[in-house]
Amino acid sequence: MNVLLSSPRGFCAGVRMAIECLNEVIRRIGPEIYVYHQIIHNKRIVDDFIAQGVTFVESLEVVPPGRVLLFSAHGVSPEVRRRARELKLQTIDATCPLVAKVHLEAIRYANAGYHIILIGHAGHDEVIGTMGEAPQSITLVESCDNIANLPFSEFDRIACLTQTTLSVDSTAAIIDALQLRYPKIALPKTEDICYATTNRQDALKDVLASADLLIVVGSQNSSNSRRLQEIGASLDVPSYLVDGASELETEWFRNVETVVITSGASAPEEGVEECVSFLKQRFDAIVREAKFLEEHVQFPLPHDLLTLTAVQTRILVELSD
């Protein structure tokens, strides 16, 4: 069996920054801290932080006053920030800068009188946060089928933004359909789909022609990981999304000569290494790296961390009590 490791794969700069941010907070004040939503959409990473003592919450009301609360890499709405201030929580913002860019674009377009069509997946943390920036001015579109039901005319001021973790090809098709209906639609100067999502999809397409089977390492709630699985399925390559080797089934690989492995932008390399070890042990697999391009993007840690100390946190908790 041949195994091709699609590259680039795994952590993007925003995910890496968010994980480093949470690790740094633990280093400074200990693990008894709170995170609003999962820090990233990866079960392995979240379970590891839970084991250390970190608490992930879906409601701010359960966080005791004065405590440290991290906002996840997916971003939050202004309403969540306002409520956190009311509850006297000490917030650290680990929002990916590329998600923050979309938030700023939403504010700019809304302030300029545009109605914004946001391409994305309903219920995704990133979409909820972005729509919260201008809820009266944003309409969500998930597919080309939704466009016919839009209530706007070609004379209205319309702008288009996208979730950062979408399929490049599907999003392009939706934008083409929007431009056909709204020829004057405004688009941001640079596309919203993040560089890492695009790179991982392009790298995967480059190697799938020789694949009999695709393994995508990532969690089921990871949007960018699911898009990779969909690319394989669209090319009639049997494609599976797994967190690690424990989810692999031997029967998948019967009569398979070439396996391609990639991983989503929120998936740690350990999951890939486990799958490779499984295939080496069971099928004597020969492994080769298929490098499409290299990435060198890095994001700095949030400025909120500069003043965070255990002493300051203890004082805030005592004052809140």
In terms of domains, do 60 and 45 share one?
A: yes
- Domain annotation covers residue 189: no
pLDDT tens, position by position, 135-159? 999 999 999 999 999 999 989 999 9
Residues 37 and 7 in one domain: no
> pLDDT of 187-196, one tens digit each?
988 889 999 9
pLDDT reported for residue 162: 97
Q: Do 118 and 81 lie in a common domain? A: no
CATH number, domain with residue 116: 3.40.1010.20
Give the pLDDT confidence score for residue 237 in this predicted structure.
97
Domain identity same for 62 and 82: yes
| Residue 161 sits in the same domain as residue 214 | no
Specify if 188 maps to a domain.
Answer: no
> Is there a domain that residue 187 lies in?
no
pLDDT bin (cut points 50, 70, 90) of residue 309 is confident
Residues 6 or more apart whose CB falls under 8 angstroms from that of 247 comprise 240
Say what the pLDDT of residue 306 is.
Answer: 81
Residue 319 pLDDT > 60: no
Round the average pLDDT of the chain to a whole number and report it.
Answer: 95
Enzyme catalytic residues:
126
The predicted structure's pLDDT at residue 320: 59
Are 243 and 303 members of one domain?
no
Residue of 149, 146, 130, 147 lying closest to 138 (CA atoms): 130
Mean pLDDT of 92-99: 97
Whether 316 has a pLDDT exceeding 60, the answer reads: no
The dihedral built from the CA positions of residue 256, 227, 290 and 46, taken in this order, carries a sign that is negative
Give the number of other Cβ atoms within 10 Å of residue 77's Cβ: 17
Q: pLDDT tens across 23-51, in order?
A: 999 999 999 999 999 999 999 999 999 99
- Kindly state whether residues 24 and 54 are assigned to the same domain: yes
Q: Are residues 29 and 82 in the same domain?
A: yes
* Domain assignment present for 226: yes
E strand intervals along the chain: 2-7, 34-36, 55-57, 68-71, 90-93, 115-119, 138-141, 158-162, 213-217, 239-242, 258-263, 286-291
Q: What is the mean pLDDT of residues 55-63?
A: 97
Q: Is the pLDDT of residue 315 over 60?
A: no
**DSSP letter string, 137-202:** SEEEE-SGGGGGG----TTS-EEEEE-TTS-HHHHHHHHHHHHHH-TT-B--SS-SS-HHHHHHHH
Instruction: Round to whole Å and give the CA distance between 113 and 122.
Output: 24
Looking at the fold, whether 46 and 36 belong to one and the same domain comes out as: yes
- pLDDT attached to residue 250: 95
pLDDT at residue 317 in the model: 57
Q: Whose CA is closest to 156, among 177, 140, 178, 172?
A: 178
72 and 135 within one domain? no
Beta-carbon contacts of 125 under 8 Å, excluding residues fewer than 6 positions away, are 37, 38, 41, 72, 74, 75
Same domain? For 80 and 114 the reply is no
In a domain, residue 67? The reply is yes
Instruction: Report the predicted TM-score, pTM, of the whole model to 2 decimal places.
Output: 0.93
What's the pLDDT tens digit per position in 242-274?
999 999 999 999 999 999 999 999 999 999 999
pLDDT at residue 321 greater than cutoff 60: no
69 domain-assigned = yes
Instruction: Name the domain count of the chain.
Output: 3
Q: Work out the pLDDT band at 314, boundaries 50, 70, 90.
A: low
Integer Rg of the chain from CA: 21
Identify the domain containing residue 203 by its residue range: 2-11+195-291
Residue where a domain terminates, one of 157, 181, 205: 181
Residues 6 and 21 in one domain: no
